[in-house]
């Protein structure tokens, strides 16, 4: 048997089948054990879990973020654009904001209102019921049209490039398998699968990185790294014939072909706005830190959640090295005719690297981790959708139903999301660049979320109606911009007519710059509306005001180890920016 074969051998397929059965058994056993401890079915435990240890929380946050858009999109972007997309990945420092700033506020409001179940719960209490309902609607639409469909679509591409499966077999198989897993496993299943697949995913991806650098460097990782950087410096050639390179994160020269994608410092600000929304306010992520053990104190909850986010901050440093840089290595290898490696489509870069550099047997083990990562990430989206529908729509309309009924409704909502995700895939295939489409949608949704949550927590003067206006107004403006993107090919087409000529500032502005100005507009709108509408009630203000007892509990929830570990995350992020400036 040729252990260095560049294709999957029979031993890889055997390992994949046995590994999937073993992982399924481990998840099933964990769920059965958890049900025995529950002494019955609980909708809250099904949706949230029951206060997992901090390292499991960190792994779950990391796993929920890693999806097929990383295996396909991030590696493909690395092959095409180098480290420019690292702004969206080098955000371990942003996860610290969730643990240090937002978790205490969420816990405080849980004390005031009983328990925060969803992010719309937070907005309903701080602003108006309509504000929370709009957030639920917007989030569900975003999950179905972007998260679920994008993950399934790119998952199909990954399965095709790695295992040779036809695209639709891989995409539909992934989404159906995940739907079944989510319905049966709930949040406990997601958490358990996350804990299993995270070490396999990390080790496997770094194997791809190091073996790829070895192949590129003729047996030396250091030489391979140098060769990758040198090759990236020859790319991104402008109209003047000058190679601007893809080895840096900031592109300041307007003659640089990548300036429109990553314009100067705007790219950092725009990526941070999306990161703030995603890591600090998105149900998909925040749900991982909301679980609480019975009888657990406030300081214990905040300590465990904070340490989970710190762990996730370190995990979040890894995807650039796990996926983006292997994409850059793939591009450099493909440029060498004598390497034996070819790359026809950048989106297949990571799958092609797995087959090319990993030895037989190891391919199968690593593939188990990748498949588990795809399922865990997609399952997290399904679970969040089920949570939002059950807690924000079904329970308020149908109160005092049995816990079994609420669990059933959550499962039914998951099935609906699965069907909608499958139906939307053919439509998305006709919308051009999938990864750009995903980032574009996020840039239009994030400003409203960031403004409403940040001002709602840090300002006592912002009125309930201001939050409602900010949420609805920001969403409408974002959707109008999305429609113009569809009609104008994201501002690239030449449009004629009075309307298009007089609104070019709206539809031609770079998407990241537009995102920043949209955030500023929504903040100003909320401030103005606050001057003319009823002030928040004393209860609403009390819910975001730390009293002496809570401050005391907050102080006990951290120590110097937490501070030092958090500083370490920031230092690593800063060093990466310094190296790839």
The residue ranking higher by pLDDT, 489 or 250, is 250
CATH of the domain at 214: 1.20.1730.10
Does residue 41 have a pLDDT over 50?
Answer: no
Identify the three-state secondary structure at position 463: coil
| In-domain check, residue 188 | yes
pLDDT category of residue 68 using cuts at 50, 70 and 90: low
Q: Which of 153, 189, 152, 162 is nearest to 33 (CA)?
A: 189
Q: What is the separation of C-alpha 108 from the centre of its chain, rounded to a whole number of angstroms?
A: 26
Residue 511 — pLDDT band, cuts 50, 70, 90? confident
Total domains, the chain: 1
Structural domain includes residue 149? yes
Global pTM reads 0.84
358 vs 211: CA distance, rounded Å: 7
| Mean pLDDT score across all residues of the chain | 82
- Average of pLDDT values for 252-279? 89
DSSP letters along 109-174, please? HHHHHS---SHHHHHHHHS-HHHHHHHHHHHHHHIIIIIIHHHHHHHHHHHHHHH---HHHHHHHH
Q: Which structure tokens are listed for 545?
A: 């005001």
Q: How confident is the model at residue 436 (pLDDT cuts 50, 70, 90)?
A: low
The predicted pLDDT at position 551 comes to 82
Q: Tokens representing 12?
A: 């890889």
| Cα→Cα distances 20→198, 282, 566, Å | 15, 30, 36
* Residue found by looking up tokens 């205490």 in the block: 104
Runs of H (alpha helix) within 316-433: 319, 325-334, 349-357, 362-389, 395-397, 403-428
What is the arithmetic mean of pLDDT over 192-217?
85
Which tokens belong to 474?
Answer: 């920001």
pLDDT confidence of 47, banded at 50, 70, 90? very low
Q: What is the pLDDT of residues 112-166, one digit of tens each?
A: 666 655 678 788 888 998 898 888 888 777 777 777 777 778 778 878 877 778 8
Residue 196 lies in a domain: yes
Nearest to 256 by CA among 247, 245, 268: 245
Say which residue the tokens 């250091």 belong to: 222
How many whole angstroms separate alpha carbon 345 and alpha carbon 501?
Answer: 37
* Higher-confidence position of 44 and 182: 182
> Within a domain: residue 47?
yes
| Dihedral, 155, 161, 165, 171 alpha carbons, nearest 10 | 10
Q: Is the dihedral of CA 173, 176, 179, 180 positive or negative?
A: negative
Q: Tokens for 438?
A: 């995903």
Which one-letter DSSP state was computed for residue 339? G
pLDDT of residue 382: 75
Asked if residue 3 belongs to a domain, the reply is no
Taking the C-alpha atoms of residue 135 and residue 278, their distance in angstroms, rounded to an integer, is: 13
- Mean pLDDT over 83-89 rounds to 89
> Is residue 161 in some structural domain?
yes
80 within a domain of the structure (yes/no): yes
Say which residues have a Cβ less than 8 Å from residue 546's Cβ, sequence separation at least 6. Answer: 104, 108, 554
Domain that holds residue 37: 10-335+361-427
Q: What is the mean pLDDT of residues 334-363?
A: 85
Q: Tell me, yes or no, whether 160 lies in a domain.
A: yes
- Other C-beta atoms within 10 Å of 581: how many? 9
């Amino acid at each position: 048997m040729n252990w260095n074969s560049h294709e999957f051998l029979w031993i890889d397929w055997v390992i994949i089948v046995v590994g999937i059965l073993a992982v399924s058994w481990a998840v099933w056993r964990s769920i059965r054990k958890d049900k025995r401890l529950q002494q019955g079915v609980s909708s809250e435990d099904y949706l949230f879990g029951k206060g997992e240890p901090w390292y499991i929380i960190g792994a779950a946050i990391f796993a929920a973020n890693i999806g097929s858009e990383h295996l396909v999109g991030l590696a493909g972007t690395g092959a095409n654009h180098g480290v420019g997309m690292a702004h969206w990945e080098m955000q371990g420092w942003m996860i610290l904001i969730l643990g240090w700033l937002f978790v205490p506020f969420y816990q405080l409001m849980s004390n005031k209102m009983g328990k925060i179940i969803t992010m719309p719960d937070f907005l309903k209490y701080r602003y108006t019921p309509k504000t929370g309902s709009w957030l639920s609607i917007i989030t569900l639409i975003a999950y179905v049209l972007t998260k679920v469909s994008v993950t399934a679509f790119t998952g199909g591409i990954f399965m095709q490039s790695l295992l040779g499966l036809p695209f639709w077999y891989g995409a539909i198989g992934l989404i159906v398998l995940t739907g079944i897993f989510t319905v049966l496993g709930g949040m406990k299943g997601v958490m358990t699968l996350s804990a299993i697949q995270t070490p396999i995913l990390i080790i496997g991806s770094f194997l791809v990185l190091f073996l790829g650098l070895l192949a590129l460097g003729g047996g030396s990782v250091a030489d391979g790294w140098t060769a990758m950087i040198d090759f990236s410096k020859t790319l991104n050639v402008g109209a003047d014939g000058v190679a601007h390179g893809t080895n840096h994160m900031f592109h300041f020269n307007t003659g640089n072909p990548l300036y429109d994608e990553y314009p100067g410092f705007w790219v950092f600000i725009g990526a941070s706005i999306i990161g703030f929304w995603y890591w600090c306010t998105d149900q998909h992520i925040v749900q991982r830190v909301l679980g609480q053990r019975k009888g657990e104190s406030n300081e214990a909850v905040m300590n465990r959640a904070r340490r989970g986010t710190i762990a996730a901050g370190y995990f979040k440093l890894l995807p650039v090295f796990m996926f983006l840089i292997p994409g850059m290595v793939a591009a450099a290898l493909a440029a060498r005719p004598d390497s034996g490696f070819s790359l026809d489509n950048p989106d297949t870069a990571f799958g092609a690297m797995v087959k090319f550099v990993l030895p037989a047997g190891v391919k199968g083990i690593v593939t188990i981790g990748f498949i588990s990562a795809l399922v865990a990430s997609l399952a997290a989206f399904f679970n969040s959708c089920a949570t939002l529908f059950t807690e924000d729509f079904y329970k308020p309309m149908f109160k005092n139903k049995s816990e079994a009924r609420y669990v059933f409704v959550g499962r039914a909502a998951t099935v609906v999301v699965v069907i909608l995700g499958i139906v939307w895939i053919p439509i998305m295939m006709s919308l051009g660049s999938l990864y750009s489409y995903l980032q574009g949608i996020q840039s239009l949704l994030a400003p409203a979320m960031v403004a409403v949550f940040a001002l709602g927590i840090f300002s006592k003067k912002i009125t309930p109606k201001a939050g409602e206006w900010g949420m609805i107004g920001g969403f409408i403006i974002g959707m109008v911009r999305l429609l113009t993107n569809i009609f104008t090919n994201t501002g690239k087409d030449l449009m004629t007519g009075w309307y298009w000529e007089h609104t070019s500032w709206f539809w031609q502005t770079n998407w990241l710059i537009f995102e920043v100005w949209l955030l500023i507009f929504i903040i100003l709108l909320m401030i103005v509306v606050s001057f003319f509408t009823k002030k928040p009630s004393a209860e609403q203000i009390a819910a975001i005001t730390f009293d002496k007892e809570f401050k005391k509990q907050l102080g006990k929830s951290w120590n110097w180890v937490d501070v030092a570990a958090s500083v370490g995350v920031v230092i690593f992020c800063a060093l990466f920016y310094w190296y790839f400036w």
